[in-house]
Structure 1
Amino acid sequence: MSKNKLLYGIKNAKLTGSRKTQYTNKAQAMRFAKLLFKLGYRPQHWKNITNKHVGVVVDEWKRQGKETSTIKAYVGSIRSLAKAYGNVSLHKLNSAFGIGRRSTIPKRSRAVPYKIYQEVKDHLLAGSERHKRIGHQLIVMNELGLRPEEARKINPDIALLPDERIYVSAGTKGGRDRIIHDPTKEQVEAVKALAPYIGQYGNSIPDTTSEANWEKYVYKVVSTLGLSIAACGASLHGLRHAFAHRRYHELTNLDAPCLHCNPETFRQAAYDEHGPQWRKVHDRAVVILAHELGHNRGEVTASYLGSIHG
Structure 2
Amino acid sequence: MDDLTYTLRQLCQRNRDGSHATQADRQRSLSLAARHLREAGFRQMRASSLKGRHVDALLERWQAEGLSAGTLKNRLAHLRWWAEKVGKAGLIAADNAQLGIAQRRHVSQESKARALGDGLDRVGDAHVRMSLRLQEAFGLRREEAIKFQPGYADRGDHVALKGSWTKGGRERCIPITTPQQRAVLDAAHALAGAGSLIPAHKTYIQQRHTYDGQCKAAGLSHMHGLRHRFAQARYAALTGWAAPADGGPTSRLLTPAQRVQDAEARQAISRELGHERVQITAVYLGR
Q: Counterpart of 1:92 in 2: which secondary structure?
A: helix
Q: Of 25, 34, 40, which aligns to 1:81?
A: 34
Shift of 1:106: 4.4
Instruction: Within 5 Å, give how 1:66-145 maps onto structure 2.
Output: 75=29, 77-83=30-36, 86-88=38-40, 92-93=61-62, 96=65, 100-102=68-70, 103=104, 105-107=106-108, 108-112=110-114, 114=115, 117-124=116-123, 127=124, 131-145=125-139
Q: Does 1:245 align with 2:236?
A: no
Number of residue pairs aligned between Structure 1 and Structure 2: 232
Instruction: Within 5 Å, give how 1:121-270 maps onto structure 2.
Output: 121-124=120-123, 127=124, 131-161=125-155, 163-169=156-162, 170-198=164-192, 202-228=195-221, 235-260=222-247, 266-267=250-251, 270=253
Change (3 A) 1:225 1:95: farther
What is the root-mean-square deviation in Å for CA atoms of aligned residues? Answer: 3.7
Shift of 1:118: 1.1
Q: Normalization by structure 2: what TM-score?
A: 0.66
For 1:27 and 1:244, how far apart are their aligned partners in 2? 23
Shift of 1:290: 1.4
Shift of 1:240: 0.8
Q: Counterpart of 2:127 in 1: which secondary structure?
A: helix
Q: Counterpart of 1:250 in 2: which secondary structure?
A: helix
Give deviations 1:32-83, integer Å, cap 9, x for gaps. 87xxxxxxxxxxxxxxxxxxxxxxxxxxxxxxxxxxxxxxxx65x3432324
Instruction: Within 5 Å, give how 1:278-297 maps onto structure 2.
Output: 278-297=258-277
Do the aligned residues in 2 keep the contact of 1:29 with 1:78 (CA within 8 Å)? no
Shift of 1:284: 0.8
- Moved beyond 6 Å, runs of 4+: none
Change (3 A) 1:192 1:81: farther
Unpaired runs of 5+ residues, structure 1, are 34-73, 229-234
Give deviations 1:160-196, integer Å, cap 9, x for gaps. 12x4432122511222212234432222221231234
Give deviations 1:210-269, integer Å, cap 9, x for gaps. 3223212312221232222xxxxxx121111111111111112333223459xxx6236x
Shift of 1:281: 1.1
For 1:10 and 1:204, how far apart are their aligned partners in 2? 35
Q: Normalization by structure 1: what TM-score?
A: 0.62
Report the identity percentage: 26
Unpaired runs of 5+ residues, structure 2, are 42-57, 71-103
Change (3 A) 1:177 1:30: closer
